[in-house]
């Protein structure tokens, strides 16, 4: 397989060099070109046809958002795009908008440190996303080769294979719910591709949904507040970044703050529930962590909760969902075809603890059905 081609777009020579060096260190990836702003990038995209673009948001002449808007106007199929952003409110707002315009993922620019330290921080963030794209391309290549071989060897009829856009996994096993009671809370774990998935799902929920919703979206500080504000403008329910002590209320969706952990706790009145925002250590290299949230939901809503695991890399949420499953919660998983990255929903499905696997377009309806 040919290496994936990466176009690096950034207005600073330093970051073009740092990102280029990181890409060069990843097997099966190579830098095909660089550009100092979005206008130069437009020309180079047509010339090099990259598989991946690393795109700075804030640049002179044509910034990252303006480039994305121009690319959408062309109607062309977008390459995978990873945004580079700063940990500021403006950076967070612009990143959420970039994801809505079709960006695949984002990484944050280090604000301090030596060039060596900054390169390592970027490598840690960028490598998993590039590796996921490489694996997807390898699968497509193997699939094409297999189809060609079958076509050549077929003597009686034309051999045909389905053409999935991502690796095919065995049909997931589904679990029976041990305790059949309507759910009183919904807990969601989500990562890569999450902002777009949440923007597609949450606006379909009715204002009178009648239960609180707790969300862990893997994001750094500031970005989760921007995400909550964007979603709140789209939804009939209220969406906000969680604060320590927030009560769980029907029709309120609380998003765990980036860089913190969120768990459910009993109110001192013994009736209500609230969230605690803590500085506990990362789990699965994630802070916030879906496992951390799911465990607390399992403890405080025995047999009365819905756990939802959606698009994202890694396996955060799997162990917490196992506990929710064991205590009678119903588990929903996003299907492979509609995931940006089929990582987080995969392990629960293969372990047979997922009660239902549904496409993103049907997730809101499936969620509501668990509340009846």
Considering the chain, what percentage of its residues have pLDDT values greater than 90?
74
Q: Looking at the structure, do residues 222 and 334 belong to the same domain, yes or no?
A: yes
CATH number at 114 reads 3.40.50.2300
Q: Looking at the structure, do residues 106 and 192 belong to the same domain, yes or no?
A: no
Q: Which of 134, 129, 133, 117 shows the shortest CA–CA distance to 18?
A: 117
Look at the block and give the residue holding tokens 């299907």. 335
Q: What angle do CA 50, 56, 59 make, to 5 degrees?
A: 120
Q: Looking at the structure, do residues 353 and 217 belong to the same domain, yes or no?
A: yes
Q: Which of 58, 47, 76 shows the shortest CA–CA distance to 11?
A: 58
Active site residues: 191, 218, 316
pLDDT per residue over 4-16, tens digit each? 999 999 999 989 9
pTM, 2 dp:
0.86
CB 317 within 8 A of CB 324: no
Q: Looking at the structure, do residues 194 and 122 belong to the same domain, yes or no?
A: no
268: in domain: yes
pLDDT per residue over 81-109, tens digit each? 999 998 888 889 999 999 999 898 999 98
278: in domain: yes
**Torsion-angle region of 110 (φ positive above 0: left; ψ -120 to 50: alpha; else: beta):** beta
CB 92 within 8 A of CB 109: no
Q: Looking at the structure, do residues 123 and 190 belong to the same domain, yes or no?
A: no
Q: Looking at the structure, do residues 90 and 195 belong to the same domain, yes or no?
A: no
pLDDT per residue over 174-210, tens digit each? 665 454 579 999 999 999 999 999 999 999 999 999 9
99: in domain: yes
79: in domain: yes
Q: Looking at the structure, do residues 39 and 97 belong to the same domain, yes or no?
A: yes
More confident position, 306 or 162 = 306
Q: Looking at the structure, do residues 358 and 210 belong to the same domain, yes or no?
A: yes
**Domain range spanning residue 352?**
185-369
195: in domain: yes
Q: Looking at the structure, do residues 189 and 128 belong to the same domain, yes or no?
A: no
Q: Is the model's pLDDT at 322 over the cut of 60? A: yes
CB 303 within 8 A of CB 179: yes
Q: Is the model's pLDDT at 342 over the cut of 60? A: yes
Q: Looking at the structure, do residues 120 and 211 belong to the same domain, yes or no?
A: no
Average pLDDT over residues 50-66: 94
Q: Looking at the structure, do residues 223 and 313 belong to the same domain, yes or no?
A: yes
Q: Is the model's pLDDT at 254 over the cut of 90? A: yes
172: in domain: no
Mean confidence (pLDDT) of the chain: 90
- Which of 136, 170, 202 represents a domain boundary (last residue)? 136
Amino acid 345: pLDDT: 97
Report the residue count for the chain.
Answer: 372
Amino acid 258: pLDDT: 97
248: in domain: yes
The tally of domains found in the chain comes to 2
Q: Is the model's pLDDT at 350 over the cut of 50? A: yes
Q: Looking at the structure, do residues 125 and 192 belong to the same domain, yes or no?
A: no
Amino acid 179: pLDDT: 46
104: in domain: yes
CB 222 within 8 A of CB 108: no
Q: What angle do CA 245, 248, 253 make, to 5 degrees?
A: 105
Amino acid 218: pLDDT: 97
- Which of 136, 169, 198 represents a domain boundary (last residue)? 136
- Which of 76, 101, 136 represents a domain boundary (last residue)? 136
CATH number at 303 reads 3.40.50.180
């Amino acid at each position: 397989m040919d290496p994936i081609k990466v176009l690096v777009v950034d207005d600073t020579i330093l970051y073009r060099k740092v990102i280029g060096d990181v890409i060069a260190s990843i097997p099966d990836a190579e830098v095909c070109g660089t550009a100092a702003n979005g206008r130069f990038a437009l020309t180079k995209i047509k010339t090099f046809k990259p598989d991946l673009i690393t795109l700075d948001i804030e640049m002179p002449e044509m910034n990252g958002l303006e480039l994305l808007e121009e690319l959408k106007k062309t109607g062309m199929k977008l390459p995978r795009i990873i945004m580079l952003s700063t940990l500021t409110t403006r950076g967070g707002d612009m990143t959420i908008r970039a994801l809505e315009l079709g960006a695949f993922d984002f990484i944050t620019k280090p604000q301090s440190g030596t060039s060596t330290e900054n390169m390592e921080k970027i490598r840690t963030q960028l490598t998993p996303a590039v590796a996921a794209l490489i694996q997807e391309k390898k699968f497509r290549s193997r699939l094409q080769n297999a189809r060609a071989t079958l076509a050549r060897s077929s003597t009686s009829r034309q051999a045909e294979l389905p053409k999935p856009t991502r690796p095919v996994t065995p049909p997931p096993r589904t679990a029976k719910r041990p305790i059949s009671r309507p759910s009183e809370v919904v807990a969601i774990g989500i990562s890569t591709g999450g902002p777009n998935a949440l923007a597609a799902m949450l606006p379909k929920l009715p204002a009178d949904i009648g239960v609180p919703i707790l969300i862990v979206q893997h994001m750094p500080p500031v970005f989760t507040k921007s995400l909550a504000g964007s979603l709140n403008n789209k939804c009939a329910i209220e969406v906000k970044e969680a604060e320590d002590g927030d009560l769980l209320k029907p029709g309120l969706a609380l998003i765990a703050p980036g860089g913190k952990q969120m768990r459910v706790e009993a109110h001192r009145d013994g009736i209500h529930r609230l969230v605690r925002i803590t500085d506990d250590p990362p789990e699965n290299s994630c802070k916030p962590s879906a496992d951390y949230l799911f465990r607390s939901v399992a403890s405080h809503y025995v047999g009365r909760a819905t756990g939802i695991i959606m698009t994202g890399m890694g396996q955060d949420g799997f162990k917490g969902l196992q506990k929710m499953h064991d205590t009678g919660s119903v588990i929903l998983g996003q299907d492979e075809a509609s995931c940006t990255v089929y990582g987080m929903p995969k392990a629960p499905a293969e372990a047979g603890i997922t009660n239902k696997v549904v496409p993103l377009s049907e997730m809101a309806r499936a969620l509501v059905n668990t509340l009846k």
